[in-house]
Structure 1
Amino acid sequence: MERKRPKPSGFQFRKKRKEEEEKRAKDKGALLKYLGAPTATRQDEQPSSSSAEQASSAMDLEPEGQEPSSSSPTNVSLHMLSRPEDKDPSPSTSSQQETSETPGAEFTQTPVAEEVNLPTDPADWPSVLTEKIRTLLVRRGPSQVKPDFVFPRNESDGRSCHHHYFRKTLVSGEKMVRSWLVYSEKNISLFCFCCKLFSKKNISLTNSGLTDWKHCSSLLTSHDNSPEHLNSMKAWKELAVRIKKEATIDKHEMALFEAERLRWRAVLKRLTAIIQSLAVRNLSLRGHTETLFSPSNGNFLKEVELMAKFDPIMKEHLNRVEKGTCSHNSYLGHHIQNELIGLLSSKTISTIVNDIKQAKYFSIILDCTPDISHTEQLSVVIRIVSLMEKPRFYILYGEVSQYYSFCVFSVFLV
């Protein structure tokens, strides 16, 4: 009785592998042939996927500069796969093509994102991400390293991160950018942008960062095909589309946040104008008390009360302060006054210094005058030469211990 072979022979293995390669080359780009432009796509169409790697590549194949379709949030991956140039793909050029997935790059930054000023390094992000912070991070998008960035090496084994970790090659031979991969210069590690925002799984790519450079390629490939990462990618893409369409869940909350930010900016503008008005006339700001509508609360609060009679923004602000509904500081105390005076002084001095640097000739006048306590008070006046005018800047007033030229000049240099 003839024994059956337990496994195919080497010739059969080679023959089977050759047939699979021919079939793979024949089917390269076949999925994209069935996908038209986003406008011609029906809402009931759904892309079919046979493996986790095809699903991952479907999410990653978003061309740069093309806006996603707004027909339905459930068809995000389908619209991101559609490209006008892929209607008749060429096998000779598709293997060399590189695509990038940066949904946040095509969104313009709003003043809200600029105001919050979230750090770009994922290691500095808050441990608890609220829906507002998550929306701002998705609107800004991931921040990746530049191509000429030099990664530091580990002192223990001499290994380091490489730029080829930020790219992957599909089974079809097509290369694409892992835009979800973010490098942290602070921790010298790699983070997954979408999983850190949406995943609840505690892994190195979301917690402390991936630093195993020896097995980095295999770990990234495994993470790229994991169901947790695919769900995070889907949530990232859908939120990016909703932000583009201004259809986020917290749209009303973001509108209130923007209105509150503009209100506080308007209040600070008025307080700064009041301080400028009093400082130009060399008037004192504070009085005996810091209570609103008190007879001896000083010039600053009296100006605020006067402005509130005619300005609706300042009137609303004082009403909130009186009723105790103001969730922040009232910005009417002596701390904010000193801070605004310091900012105005720094800006004025920097402007004067720039004018002095632009002038070709200038003179420095140092003079001391004793006060009632017989202490020498030093004043510094700088006069620049200009064809239009002859400006003189008074920039310093201080005390000196001795009235000698060397002592006075030393105080000026300090």
Structure 2
Amino acid sequence: MSKQTSLLGFLKRKEPESATTSMAEENIPEPSTTMQEQNISGTREIENEDFIFSLERDPGLRAPMWHYPVEKRDEIRRAYLKLKLYQPLLRRFPYSGPEGHRRSFQASWYKKFPDWLEYSLSKDAVFCFLCYLFADKPNPHTNTFTMMGFSNWKRVNEGTNCPFVTHVRGPSSTHINALRSKIDLLNDRGHIRYAFVSQEEAQIRRNRLRLEATIDVVRLLTLQACPLRGHNESDNSANQGNFLEFRKAFGRYNDDVSKAIEHPSYNAKYIAPSIQKQILDIISSKVRNYIREEIGESKFCIIVDEARDEAKRE
């Protein structure tokens, strides 16, 4: 069985740059690593604070997106979007082509295609930032701008036939689909995890409202010295006792309370006798604490009237 490859195997530790869209004006450095070196598996997990600086900035040295674990791809995409495009500004870009017609990349092209055009120092070629991020498998239609890089500078001035223009042309082109995927990725409110969070928050509100109704009923019945439990509290009973009947009455005058009572989450009904006793204990503690605060160190006593049942037991 092959050794499991961790995410670190595809990344390289980078020092933070002072700017996301420019570099110091200097000669083109020799690449220090190759794609094969970047794909060596690692054993240490990447920490969150170091993750963004571990990403390869040069588009010519990046590992294809489909080499990363599927569950990590969105995280990597967000990190790259946070870093923004790699658009170095050099004092002079290298020339290529036949003698007498040598041409080079022009920094002014950044302004014409600011949302996706990237330049690779290692390959002296341009890449599409969006197509790289959202390419989940090799695509012959986008390999030029995602893996190999485009460097035929002569064709850039061909007007509507410019490869940069034809790359983004068409409402259903791969580039347009990548742009839509970027919008969907950044639309956090549409992400499934927010749907779960929203459901959890709504459930918490209903649980609290259900508990508040229980507390209010217990406090009301206790203040009026009324018994809480009924003789028959089953669902088929015509009279379930003071506690349950008062609780249902509260729900008739408020739709939110009614929904919270009638549709409890799992078994969180908050109607068990043990729950009622806990609420009474909390109320009694608050009463005692209030009395202590009022009388200070003075002594006090409580007189309780007794009542007998038919067997003459108190």
Greater relative contact order: 1 or 2 (C-alpha under 8 angstroms, separation 6 or more)? 2
Larger radius of gyration: 2
The structure with the largest strand share of the pair is 1
TM-score w.r.t. structure 2 length? 0.39
